[in-house]
């Protein structure tokens, strides 16, 4: 994590895989979905930083609407952070995409490949399982 933080401070756009980001863009665009960042990277940067990183990789005006609140000091997991966000926002449907499962049972979680991330195959599976008009809660690490 320390090395990632050093890289982030110098060139944050280098931490995002352009191809995998393209899959998130395709998902968001095809289903008109907004993005809420749940990644640990939110501890080091804000929404505008993420927008700048996405823009660097060709996704101008990415629909990043928020970052989940950090509840670690309260002994909470990301599932709790996502639930708090959902409880305070009007969302009909959503999907959580991550390669680490620290979410609650019953939350609409899709596990991306641990080694390859959000691949085209993952994209197709998520599109097939979700109705339209939902939010994406994404970790991009």
Mean pLDDT, consecutive 10-residue stretches, the chain (141 aa), reads 59 72 89 88 84 88 94 95 94 86 91 86 83 54 46
Supply φ then ψ for residue 54, to 5 degrees: -65, -45
pLDDT on residue 75: 96
What local confidence, expressed as pLDDT, does residue 3 receive? 62
Predicted local confidence at residue 137, as pLDDT = 55
Distances (CA, A) of 109 to 3, 89, 106: 28, 18, 8
According to the model, what pLDDT value does residue 103 have? Answer: 94
Dihedral pair phi/psi, residue 107, rounded to 5°: -75, 145
Look at strands 64-67 and 93-98 and give their pairing: unpaired
* 8 Å CB contact between 28 and 35: yes
Strands (E), 1-141: 35-37, 64-67, 93-98, 109-111, 134-138
Q: What is the DSSP letter of 69?
A: -
Q: Tokens for 105?
A: 């049972």
């Amino acid at each position: 994590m320390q090395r990632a933080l050093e890289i982030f401070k110098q060139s944050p756009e280098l931490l995002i895989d352009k191809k995998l980001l393209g899959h998130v863009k395709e998902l968001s665009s095809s289903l008109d979905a907004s993005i809420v960042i749940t990644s640990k990277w939110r501890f080091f940067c804000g929404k505008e930083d993420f927008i700048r990183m996405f823009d660097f990789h060709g996704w101008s005006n990415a629909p990043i609407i928020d970052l989940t609140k950090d509840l670690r000091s309260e002994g909470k997991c990301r599932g709790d952070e996502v639930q708090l966000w959902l409880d305070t926002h009007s969302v009909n449907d959503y999907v959580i995409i991550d390669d680490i499962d620290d979410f609650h049972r019953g939350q609409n979680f899709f596990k991306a490949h641990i080694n390859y991330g959000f691949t085209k195959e993952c994209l197709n599976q998520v599109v097939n399982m979700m109705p339209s008009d939902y939010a994406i809660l994404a970790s991009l690490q």
